[in-house]
Amino acid sequence: MKKGVPISAGVVVAKAYCVDEVMGLREPQYLDAAALSAEINRFDMAIAAAAELDAIVARVSQQVGEEEAAIFRSHRLLLRDPTLITKVKSAILERLVDARTALHELLDEYAALFEKIHDEYIRERMADIHDVVGRIMAQLALQVTGCCLEANESVIIVAHEVLPSQALAFHRLKVVGIATETGGSTGHAAILARSLGIPAVSGLRGILQEVATGDVLALDGREGHLYINPGPEVESAFRKLQREYVDTRDRLIENRHLDAVAPDGVGVELLANVNSAADAALAVSAGAVGVGLFRTEYLFLAHPTIPDEEEQLAAYRAVIEAAPNRCVTIRTLDLGGDKHVPYFGNEREANPFMGWRSIRLSSAYPEFFQTQLRAILRAGLFGNVQLLFPMISTLEEVRRVKRLVAATRDALTRQGVRFADVPLGIMLEVPAAAFCIEALLPEVDFVSIGSNDLIQYMMAADRDNPRVAHLCEPFSPAIMKLLRHVIRACGRSDKPVTLCGEMAGRPRCFLPLFGMGLRRFSMSPGFVPTLKEMARSTSVPLAGRIARRVLSLRTSRQIRDFLSRQARRICPNVALLDTRK
């Protein structure tokens, strides 16, 4: 048994599917002579697929700039470089290794050469070689089907880390669990797992050295435990827990037609966080009353080029038409940090989460940003749409993006293009903005709290770094006090406020936030039935007493233990659906 960090509740037993990091190290793979011809063909196919960059070059040049487009022109030349291709093929044929091993050897060779070069500009071109080789490896990975698995067999993904770009390929597999070496409870592996409603454990150091594809795993996302090839008794016990988990979850889904109303008649809006129209449809089946956060960046991460205005409009319209009551809050691009698209360049930042990302990136490319604004404003004709700007830090930023929206509206009006006058809101993720919320509220129509980033910035701890991820928990006294400040300020200004982070989907966190006056929660669709059960079981006076007690406690552990006891007392049947931490 290995102990990790519980990040998505539930219990599951299934076979492992090990996902290599695109650039990660691994043992060399040797082939039989009879397999060499097929491996060469596989490499040729990967090169051909990776080299299809013409559309990217054209669109990046048009919407972002010639300098950024030049990156892809150089990548296209590298992918057609006969020296690179010959070196890889020679390694396959002469050393009887597979294409991935040959590519790793090629990287090692180039890295050694570049280390001897004193010119900084030329040395930085090694990043381009990494990107090109990574593009080839990604194409090779898409050709793999999993040799030890049956068709359509349920699998537990085992990986060093799950990045958004990697997760896009999971639709080929029937994923029922995730186990990763790194990442915290609010990292993207956690968010992905909870949005899919599947159990997950992170912080399992060395797991890729201990697990092979096809091994049987028993994963407990409540406690953070992973059993590798368990004996029959342990496997039987876990399968029983798995059935109990599924039965409890299915029973709660039956409340989807009930209103989220407390016993004393106070209503709560339970909304969904979505990445796609399929997620929005899932939100309907879970009983959500709308979409509180549509993350548009996943449209860009999944697209082979930059989606143009009409493609974006079609995607936004599809989400709106699939959403509960056609109510959708659309967030503009939140790229950067660990979510990258190549057309913004490959510059490496020392601290990307605090760097050139999100609204800062959008403001640097106004034409690119205005294409998205045009599509969102036009999509507002198809439902009740709100426009949300992420990672706002200052009043000046709010006014700057409002001017961009005004200019976009003027351009659409001049062109005779119909659009909707949608409300504008900001996402509170930066403590500076949260502390100065009173200065920002007159400029906006609503506020959304992004607790994932707010917590990591407040605690100065990377939520995906296992050494400090324990600091990024919602039970911090500082976080509770800051949230009370924001909720009260929004109440005084009569501006709607929604909690959109993963904190919103945790039953224990609902209790004090409801007591502080929060009435709008947006979460992964799978958590809506659980939170509805909690809302229907908690009166306002009881929640108020819990909130006051929480605000008097001095440590995260005291708050967590107190809320765990209260949640079990108020709503015992949700305990199986929540992590223990």
> Torsions phi, psi of 348, nearest 5?
-90, 130
Let me know: does 17 contact 156? Beta carbons within 8 Å. Answer: yes
Instruction: Please state, in angstroms and rounded to a whole number, the distance separating the CA atoms of residues 275 and 277.
Output: 7
Q: Where are the alpha helices (DSSP H) in 126-227?
A: 126-142, 164-167, 188-196, 207-210
Residue spans per domain, the chain? 2-21+160-249, 33-142, 267-577
Task: Determine which one of 327, 472, 500, 571 is catalytic.
Answer: 500
Q: Are strands 291-295 and 327-331 parallel, antiparallel or unpaired?
A: parallel
Nearest to 44, CA basis, from 6, 3, 4, 89: 89
Let me know: does 550 contact 558? Beta carbons within 8 Å. Answer: no
**340 has catalytic annotation:** no
Task: Determine which one of 188, 225, 490, 509 is catalytic.
Answer: 188
Report the residue count for the chain. Answer: 581
Q: Chain-centre distance of CA 219, in angstroms?
A: 21
What are the tokens at 545? 């007493």
Q: What is the 3-state secondary structure (H, E, C) of 24-62?
A: CCCCCCECCHHHHHHHHHHHHHHHHHHCCCHHHHHHHHH
> Torsions phi, psi of 295, nearest 5?
-85, 100
With left for phi above 0 and alpha for psi between -120 and 50, is residue 174 left, alpha or beta? beta
Q: Which CATH code is given to the segment(s) 33-142? A: 1.10.274.10
Any idea which residue has 């500076």 for tokens?
A: 432
CATH of 2-21+160-249, one of 1.10.3720.10, 3.30.230.10, 3.30.200.20, 3.50.30.10: 3.50.30.10
**500 has catalytic annotation:** yes
DSSP element (H, E) containing 156:
strand 154-159
Q: What is the pLDDT along the chain (581 residues), one digit of tens a residue?
A: 898 888 888 899 999 988 764 444 466 778 888 889 989 998 998 888 777 667 667 766 666 566 556 667 777 788 888 888 999 999 999 989 999 889 888 888 888 887 777 766 566 567 678 778 877 876 776 565 444 556 568 889 888 777 654 554 565 568 889 998 876 665 556 666 776 678 889 888 888 889 988 899 999 988 889 999 998 888 998 898 888 888 887 888 888 889 999 999 999 999 999 988 988 998 998 899 999 999 998 788 767 678 899 999 999 999 999 999 999 999 998 876 556 655 565 556 666 667 667 788 777 788 888 999 999 999 999 999 999 999 999 999 999 999 999 999 999 999 999 999 999 999 999 999 999 999 999 999 999 999 989 999 999 988 767 678 778 889 999 999 999 999 999 999 999 999 998 899 889 999 999 999 999 999 988 889 999 999 999 999 999 999 999 999 999 999 999 999 999 899 887 766 777 66
Residues 267-577, CATH architecture: Alpha-Beta Barrel (3.20)
